[in-house]
Amino acid sequence: MQVNATQPVLAVFDFDGTLTDRHTFWRYMRFIVGTRSFWLRIIPLLPKMLSVILGITPLMQARLAFIACYLGGLSVEQEREHAKYFITEQLPLWLRPEALRRLQWHQSMGHVTALVSNSPENYLIPWGQAAGFDYVCGTRLATAKNKLTGGISGTNCVEREKVTRLKSCLSNLDDFYIYAYGDSSGDDALLGIANSPFYRNWY
């Protein structure tokens, strides 16, 4: 399908496994609590993990148990500092060069770019802004009294929620010719609205 020369173009990217070569959120939690503490704390969560593998517990439900275990009670200021170091010291090691080249091509063409991911906005937003994205949407970690509660605010930014969140930024999606890049079933809804969907590939 050809792009209409007068039609604005939107390029939407997933993050984990698309712009990066691995999942980042559990590594972020490990970065915050330290490797030894991370593995010690995971022991009580092993039954939950087995339940996910057996198809008894939904993955997103189990994910909440991990957030509560590793991030609950952390002050907003502490977590913000962790995020700052994480995006400068860890994330650059995991970025896919070919993905960044594709992003930079869209930006050089003047296309609107959006980053929509299930990763938490706490590190997704500062990284995405530094990378030049026009819009960044992710899962929102809940806070109360200047601390992380260990829960999320709203819904995990996955599946149909990715499209919903994108529409909250750009309500007129039908006006755009859309490129979408993803790597998992959690991106199916996003790829489904694209004129040019790319699943685990760039061209």
21-25, 54-58, 119-123: the lowest-pLDDT one: 54-58
pLDDT attached to residue 30: 96
Residue 160: CB partners within 8 Å, gap ≥ 6? 189
Beta-bridged to residue 139, according to DSSP, are: 120
Number of separate helices (H) and strands (E) present in the chain: 9, 6
Would you say residue 133 has pLDDT above 80?
A: yes
pLDDT 10s digits, 63-78: 999 999 999 999 999 9
- For residues 137 and 37, the answer to whether their CB atoms sit within 8 Å is no
Would you say residue 1 has pLDDT above 60?
A: no
- How close are the terminal C-alpha atoms of the chain, in Å? 14
What is the token pair recorded at 45? 């969560």
Would you say residue 125 has pLDDT above 90?
A: yes
Would you say residue 80 has pLDDT above 90?
A: yes
pLDDT attached to residue 4: 63
- What is the band of 203 on the pLDDT scale with cuts at 50, 70, 90? confident
For the entire predicted model, the pTM comes to: 0.92
pLDDT 10s digits, 140-199: 999 999 999 999 999 999 999 999 999 999 989 999 999 999 999 999 999 999 999 999
- What is the band of 2 on the pLDDT scale with cuts at 50, 70, 90? low
Question: Helices 59-71 & 25-33, crossing angle to 10 degrees?
Answer: 20
Strands 135-144 and 147-153: antiparallel
- Once rounded to an integer, what is the mean pLDDT over residues 39-64? 91
- Average pLDDT value for the chain: 94
Percent of the chain surpassing pLDDT 70: 98
